[in-house]
């Protein structure tokens, strides 16, 4: 239970609890108390904290390593969210009502995806010592959801905290989420049209199909998220196929380390 002392576990638990209760997160403030353990002197509360993390991790029979990957990814995203001007209630509270709650929803989904073994282990080269060796032979037959081919959109708060990168987002004017590859509706009314218009006024363009963006535009997105200065027309590795899937993997590695 020592991990519950940490900021990353306390932040994750507080947000998940608020999200679980359907609270408006626009004005929610995370309070870190290093001296307090989640459920201190209360085994039942400790179990409840672990239950909610397991629930939102979304991996069946998850290992402790997978739970930790989930908490780690989500904590980083939540911290970036707190530092972004787009989620500052003092600056944009009246203009972007509901956006922080919207963003947290997708950060939870992204963290779930980034915690899967198909990404955490195979791509990042991380071994899970908690699993028996005999499981290795069964892994190919227990493939978890194919993370790299998922159509789910993701939100990244860029390093400058004054801008965002929406990966895989294509929204109709009604706020429907569209598949960038087929333009078919994946989810109706994903975002309220009013919030979509407000974000557009803030420079967020949901009409651009990321799948059709050229290579240099994708490199620019990577640089923005990582806080790197892009050199005009410079491609660090012209031989590398920079697909949307590979962009996701690069950002996953960046988030991990």
DSSP string, 183-199: --EEETTSS-HHHHHHH
The total number of structural domains that make up the chain = 1
* 134 domain residue, yes or no: no
* 131 domain residue, yes or no: no
Over residues 88-143, the pLDDT tens digits come to 888 887 788 889 999 999 899 888 887 765 544 444 444 444 444 444 443 433 33
Which secondary structure element, helix H or strand E, spans residue 178, and what is its range?
strand 177-178
* 184 domain residue, yes or no: yes
Can you give the pLDDT at residue 79?
93
Its pTM surpasses 0.85: no
* 39 domain residue, yes or no: yes
Q: How far apart are CA 174 and CA 248, in angstroms?
A: 27
Can you give the pLDDT at residue 248?
82
Percent of the chain with pLDDT over 70: 79
Can you give the pLDDT at residue 31?
84
* 129 domain residue, yes or no: no
Can you give the pLDDT at residue 139?
41
Over residues 26-63, the pLDDT tens digits come to 888 888 876 555 555 566 767 788 889 999 998 878 88
* 247 domain residue, yes or no: yes
Lowest-pLDDT choice from 8-17, 64-73, 209-218, 248-257: 248-257
Q: How far apart are CA 140 and CA 233, in angstroms?
A: 41
């Amino acid at each position: 239970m020592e991990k519950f002392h940490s900021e990353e576990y306390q932040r994750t638990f507080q947000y998940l609890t608020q999200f679980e209760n359907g609270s408006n997160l626009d004005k929610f403030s995370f309070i870190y108390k290093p001296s307090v353990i989640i459920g201190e002197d209360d085994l039942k509360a400790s179990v409840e904290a672990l239950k909610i993390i397991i629930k939102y991790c979304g991996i069946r029979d998850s290992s402790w390593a997978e739970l930790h990957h989930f908490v780690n990814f989500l904590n980083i995203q939540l911290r970036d969210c707190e530092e972004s001007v787009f989620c500052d209630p003092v600056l944009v509270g009246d203009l972007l009502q509901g956006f922080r709650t919207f963003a947290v929803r997708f950060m939870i989904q992204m963290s779930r995806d980034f915690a899967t073994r198909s990404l955490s282990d195979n791509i990042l080269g991380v071994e899970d010592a908690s699993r028996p060796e005999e499981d290795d032979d069964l892994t190919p037959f227990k493939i978890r959801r194919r993370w790299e081919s998922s159509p789910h959109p993701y939100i990244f708060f860029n390093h400058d905290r004054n801008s965002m990168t929406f990966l895989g987002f294509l929204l109709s004017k009604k706020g429907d989420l569209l598949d960038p590859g087929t333009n078919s509706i994946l989810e109706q009314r994903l975002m309220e049209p009013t919030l979509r218009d407000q974000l557009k006024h803030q420079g967020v363009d949901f009409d651009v199909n990321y799948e059709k963006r050229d290579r240099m535009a994708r490199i620019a997105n990577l640089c923005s998220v990582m806080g790197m200065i892009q050199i005009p027309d410079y491609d660090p590795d012209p031989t590398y196929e920079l697909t949307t899937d590979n962009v996701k993997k690069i950002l996953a590695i960046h988030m991990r380390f």
